[in-house]
């Protein structure tokens, strides 16, 4: 999957970033990238963005990172809202749910009334529900895997046969050329020897 993200360059404590299009699996600080589409220096607030190329890569399906997306929204290259790119601390995440969600009220009178019918139903349903459905799904999956394996094996065999035929043809052509060259050289040597012998006899 293609992404548009920042690629850090610059000295220690003097960051500057290339804005690049790269594969998501590549490391963010090092590694190859497909194309450089801009430059950003956070110290001087200098930005250079190639709008045409960015729009092209977005149309192809590249996803911008949160920071790059915010830069593009700020420069009005794309429309939308800014995305919060900073992570929340663990303390804030833990405190937020306790303050926002009040404890649910539990009615005491309704519990005994609901428990009795549920117990009866669960007792009657337990023997009927057991593990056979899980076994059936596994058995259904196995033939699908076998069919997929057969298809892949068939494709591999076809490719191997094509490669073997191509190699055979190449080898035959190479051998023919080598044999022709060897025969020519042998004939030339034989002709030379016969000429030399005939000259020696004349003398």
Q: Biggest alpha carbon distance in the chain?
A: 137
Residue-level pLDDT at 183: 80
Q: How many residues belong to the chain?
A: 203
For the chain (length 203 residues), average pLDDT per consecutive 10? 92 93 87 91 93 92 92 89 78 62 52 47 47 49 62 73 75 76 82 82 73
Contact 32, 26 (CB under 8 A): yes
Look at residue 53 in the predicted model and tell me its pLDDT.
93
Determine the Cα–Cα distance for residues 2 and 23; give it in Å rounded to an integer.
5
pLDDT at residue 203, rounded to an integer: 67
Measured in degrees and rounded to the nearest 5, phi and psi for residue 111 equal -60, -55
pLDDT at residue 96 in the model: 60
Q: Bridge partners of 47?
A: 40
Domains plus CATH for the chain?
A: 2-74 (3.30.1320.10)
């Amino acid at each position: 999957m293609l992404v548009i993200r920042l690629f850090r360059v610059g000295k220690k404590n003097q960051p500057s970033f290339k804005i690049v299009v790269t594969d998501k699996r590549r490391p963010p600080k090092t590694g190859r990238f497909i194309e450089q589409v801009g430059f950003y220096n956070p110290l001087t607030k200098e930005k250079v963005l190639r709008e045409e190329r960015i729009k092209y890569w977005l149309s192809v399906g590249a996803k911008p990172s949160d920071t790059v997306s915010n830069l593009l929204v700020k420069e009005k290259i794309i429309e939308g809202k800014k995305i919060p790119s900073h992570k929340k601390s663990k303390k804030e995440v833990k405190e937020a749910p306790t303050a926002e969600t009040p404890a649910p009220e539990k009615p005491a009178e309704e519990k005994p009334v609901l428990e009795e019918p549920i117990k009866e139903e669960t007792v009657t349903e337990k023997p009927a529900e057991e593990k056979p459905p899980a076994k059936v799904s596994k058995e259904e999956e196995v033939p699908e895997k076998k069919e997929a394996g057969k298809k892949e094996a068939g494709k591999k065999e076809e490719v191997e046969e094509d490669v073997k035929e191509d190699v055979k043809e190449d080898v035959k052509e190479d051998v023919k050329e080598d044999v022709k060259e060897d025969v020519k050289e042998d004939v030339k040597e034989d002709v030379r020897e016969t000429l030399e012998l005939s000259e020696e006899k004349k003398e």
